[in-house]
Amino acid sequence: MNCINSHFVKLYQEQHLAYLCFHETASQPKKRACLGTETAKDGTVWREEQVGTSLPFTPIEAYAADGEPTAKARKRITSRLQSFLCFITLDMLRSIQEWTIQHAQQMEHVHWFMELPELMAFIAIVILRGVARVPSLRDSWSANLGNPQIIGTMSRNRFQNIMQHLRFDDKSTRSDRVQTDKFAAISSVWGSFVTNCITCYNPGLHITVDEQLFPSKTRCCFLQYIASKPDKFGIKFWVACDLKSKYICNVFPYLGKDPNRPSGERMSDNVVMRLMEPFLDKGRNVTTDNFFTSLSLAQKLLRRKTTILGTVNKIRREIPQSARQTDRNEFTTQVCCRSFVVLCLCVSLKPNTVTLYNTTKCGVDVMDQMVREYTVRRGTGRWPVAVFYNMIDMAALNAHVLYQACTGTKERRVDFLVELARELAHSHLLRTQPSTPSPGKRAMCQVKHKCKSNHATVRCVHCYRYTCGKCRRQIPWQCQDCDHIHLEQKCSMT
């Protein structure tokens, strides 16, 4: 966007707005002052009009300003776990379980198994690591920096073992599928996630379309470098977000040149139409930046009863020559119109068009900021795992939006994530841990904080690990009437 001039394209249904705004009928439209005409490089004819006489922005049809969950989502969501499972479904988890077991048995040549509750507990730890923000995997299980909820859910070795074998497709058939699908290693699971995002929520009036660069340096043919981003390298996703709730309505990755794109169609037009396809013909408005906005896109959206508001790159051939000037007087505004499109050029002013754009453009940017605050992203050498991390981040954000909308509960996102992790790990803990520690059994010390290979007969009441006398912490006895002794302990022993 030009640093001096801001160009805004606004699309609307002219006759309908004339009636709503000026109480005029379609047969008697208001006559507006035309100051002249100008032809752009591609032959597009624009007419300059007097400022203040062009019609204001109004949606084509009356539509609810706020988004809401679908009836199907409202019916099934009563807990955080159910909300999360709307996006990462049990069928998706079973597929991941199947391919992970298959890969582990092929690599280790032994019987290796992972139950579905254990996979859910694995995801719970991934989420908790994002909340705790402990960079090192070893520190997450350490005595000083470790999270008790992580330690009590699964051992570090088991977590690393699952991570090592985590797969999202059938490796034996991947070589054939990758010929036509670069995303084949996780394409099936990702497609199910996107479908769930679309079917669980009806977005409001305003939808924002923009790009997201998920930071990663893994080797893949579609890794992007964008110098203007805080993280220069990553996997790029095209995202459509609901403006108010920041719900992710639709998303797909950028994989390079798309062979299925119609010949002669701009990539930017194709991206917006693909993202907006499930939400067209409803009178919604989409806000875009100067990479996407064009006259051809505006015309395509108009035919589908959708409006567009966005900045325009001054080098586009459909822009009149007067819009390319950089020596404009300060505090001036120029309005050009063509059919149902209005082009507004302003210098050091904030007309209503600019204010509306600033209000509706922030959807994807705020979503990306929210995801990064408690991201589960960690260093990995496999790009499908990096995509899986982004999928969990997006699913957790959407689940938070649905849970609050369906239950009426207002909850901080960090509290939601912690409780979600607890619910994900609950079934696994019931299977693996006894209700009370069982003393008397002789085993090797599992803490090894001050010993190497001592035997132990007691277990910690919190993490259930066998602990020898050197590695447990004793506390003084006190009666119930005395509460003035406050000694911090990490693990109380039976």
256 or 438: whose pLDDT is higher?
A: 256
Q: Give the pLDDT band (50/70/90) at residue 1.
A: very low
* In the predicted structure, residue 7 carries a pLDDT above the cut 50: no
Question: What is the distance between the alpha carbons of residues 48 and 52, in angstroms, rounded to a whole number?
Answer: 12
Helix, strand, coil content of the chain in percent (nearest 5): 40, 15, 45
| Res. 492: pLDDT tops 60 | no
Question: Is residue 458 in a domain?
Answer: yes
pLDDT for the residue numbered 316:
84
Domains contained in the chain, number: 1
Q: Is 70 exceeded by the pLDDT of residue 487?
A: no
Confirm whether 67 is domain-assigned: no
Is 483 part of any domain? yes
Calpha distance 96→116 (Å, rounded)? 9
Q: What pLDDT, in 10s, does the model give residues 412-445?
A: 999 999 999 999 999 898 877 654 455 556 788 8
* Each residue's pLDDT tens digit, 71-109: 989 988 989 999 999 999 999 999 999 999 999 998 877
Residue 353 pLDDT greater than 80, yes or no: no
Say what the pTM is. 0.79
Q: Domain for residue 464, yes or no? A: yes
pLDDT at residue 109, as a whole number: 73
Q: Does 225 fall in a domain?
A: no
Amino acid 247: pLDDT: 95
What pLDDT is stored for residue 318 in this prediction?
A: 83
Residue whose C-alpha is closest to residue 340's, from 44, 8, 55, 48: 55
DSSP states of 220-250 as a string? -TTEEE-TTSSS-EEEEEEEEEETTT--EEE
Q: Give the range of the structural domain holding residue 451, as residue numbers without chain letter.
A: 441-494
Query: Of residues 358 and 22, which shows the higher confidence score?
Result: 358
> Interhelix angle for 383-407 vs 413-432, to 10°?
110
Residue type (1 letter), 244: K
Averaged over 145-154, what is the pLDDT? 89
Q: Which of 393, 353, 357 is nearest to 243 (CA)?
A: 357
Alpha-carbon distance 384 to 390, whole Å?
10
Q: Is residue 410 part of a domain?
A: no
Quick check: helix, strand or coil at residue 347? strand
Percent of the chain scoring above 70 in pLDDT: 82
114 pLDDT more than 90: yes
Q: What are phi and psi of 345, to 5 degrees?
A: -120, 125
What is the tens place of the pLDDT at every residue in 134-146?
878 888 898 888 8
pLDDT band at 63 (very low <50, low <70, confident <90, very high): low
At 342, is the pLDDT very low, low, confident or very high (cuts 50, 70, 90)?
confident
- Residue 452: pLDDT over 70: yes
User: With contact defined as beta carbons under 8 Å apart, do 224 and 217 qualify?
Assistant: no
Tokens of 99: 């391919």
Q: What's the rounded mean pLDDT across residues 166-192?
A: 93
Look at residue 41 and tell me if it is in a domain: no
The reply to whether 126 falls in a domain is no
